Amino acid sequence: MLRSHWPLFGLTLRTGRLTLRLPTESDIAALADIAAAGVHRPTERPFLTPWTEGGPESRARNVVQGHWEDLATWSADNWSLGLGVLRDDEPLGIVNLRARDFAVAREVMTSSWLGLPHHGQGFGTEARVAILSLAFDHLGAECAVTEVFQDNHASQGVSRKLGYRPDGISRDVREGEVVVSDRLRLVRADWVPARHGAVSVDGLDACRSFFGLEPKEQNV
């Protein structure tokens, strides 16, 4: 079984409506189709990396290639966990948790996307709650950071609702122009999991070393 060699395939998060896990081959094909159909309105440009700005075939290929890249380049010191967001086994999008030197820094970054038909139904917030629960309640994160364009009001609203606070700005160059993002930070003291609904996490013990963590001590 693949998970015996790569136990991250056994890591599963569940909320009231959603299941989050590493995509299977059929899941990633479905997610590529979702990206090809569109993950934001044509007039919007919500991502610093312009992975959605090509045609449908380009968007689909970027999803597949990004998934493979995350797996192929994974190390305990530099990892990117892209979990498929599913409802009743139907893929809706991807939520990503990534970190460098997590065992020491205890800081993670989050990002996500959902297919356009799944916007406005609370799925993005629910998926973010699940991935933050993994980070804070199970991996021992001290803070979570996200960067959001100042005109991305939906993502800004989700972050602030979950307790993120302003943490400055980031200035980057995209296609020869400066773009400004608000940097938002959620610290452990402001994370109140009970406020956002229950999240169950299964299969973590087998892959703690993948996050640079020691095995969980067993009660004798």
Strand ranges inside 38-197, DSSP E: 78-87, 90-100, 107-114, 143-149, 165-174, 177-187
Q: What is the CATH classification number for the domain harbouring 66?
A: 3.40.630.30
Domain-embedded: residue 6: yes
Is 219 contained in some domain?
no
DSSP labels for 108-139?
Answer: EEEEEEE-GGGTTSSHHHHHHHHHHHIIIIIS
At residue 217, the pLDDT reads 61
- β partners of residue 165: 185
Give a yes or no: residue 218 inside a domain: no
Q: 133, 11 in Cβ contact below 8 A?
A: no
3-state class of 178 per DSSP?
strand
C-alpha separations of 47 from 196, 200, 209 in Å = 26, 30, 31
Q: Distance (Å, rounded) from C-alpha 149 to C-alpha 181?
A: 4
Q: Is the pLDDT of residue 107 over 60?
A: yes
Given a cut of 90, is residue 70 above it in pLDDT? yes
Residue 216 inside a domain? The answer is: no
Examine residue 99 and state whether it is found in any structural domain, yes or no. Answer: yes
Q: Is residue 106 part of a domain?
A: yes
Q: Mean per-residue pLDDT for 184-197?
A: 88
219 confidence band (pLDDT: 50, 70, 90): very low
Q: Give the residue-averaged pLDDT of 1-24.
A: 94
Task: Identify the helix (H) or strand (E) that includes residue 60.
Answer: helix 56-72
Share of the chain above pLDDT 70, in %: 98
Q: Residue 144: beta bridge partners?
A: 108, 186
Q: How far is CA 91 from CA 31, 35, 140, in A?
A: 6, 11, 28
Tell me if 83 sits within 8 A of 22, measured CB to CB: yes
d(CA 205, CA 100): 20
Of all residues in the chain, the percent with pLDDT exceeding 90 is 75
140-160 residue pLDDT tens: 999 999 998 888 888 888 898
Residue 92's domain comprises: 2-211
Q: Is the pLDDT of residue 7 over 90?
A: yes
Determine whether 188 is exposed, middle or buried from the number of CB atoms within 10 Å of its CB (0-12, 13-18, 19+): middle
pTM of the model: 0.93
In the predicted model, is pLDDT for residue 42 greater than 90? no
Number of structural domains the chain divides into: 1
pLDDT at position 202: 97
Q: Is position 217 within any domain?
A: no
Going by C-alpha positions, the residue among 91, 90, 42, 88 that lies closest to residue 63 is: 91
- Tell me whether residue 83 is in a domain: yes
